[in-house]
Amino acid sequence: VQDISGDDEEQDRVPLDKLRLLGESEELRILLLNPHLRQLLLSLDQAEDKSSLLKKLMQEPLFAEFADCCLGIVEPPEKENLQPQ
């Protein structure tokens, strides 16, 4: 995969090595087996106004769980911010 980002867009991009981690996540794979989530993602991909639809989808618990899972993989919480168990 070729990195097509420009310098000015770099802060909005996830590095390729972090994106590869998404493909290795068993938790994410299990979430993606859900046909409702797959339909939500398909509708987002095909939407003309992605920003507006994304705001609506973030109100869906299943989609929010998916987004949280993805963010946890590409931006894991820092150890010092974790609560002791």
Inside any domain, residue 49: yes
Is 4 within a domain?
no
Question: For 48-84, how does the pLDDT look when each residue is reduced to its tens digit (9 = 90+)?
Answer: 999 999 999 999 999 999 999 999 999 887 765 555 5
Inside any domain, residue 34? yes
- Specify if 41 maps to a domain: yes
Which domain covers residue 29, as residue numbers? 15-74
pTM of the model: 0.75
Cα separations (Å) of 16 from 5, 74, 78, 82?
11, 10, 20, 26
Residue 24 in any domain: the answer is yes
Domain count, the chain: 1
CA distances from 28 to 1, 11, 74 (A): 21, 24, 12
pLDDT tens profile 55-65: 999 999 999 99
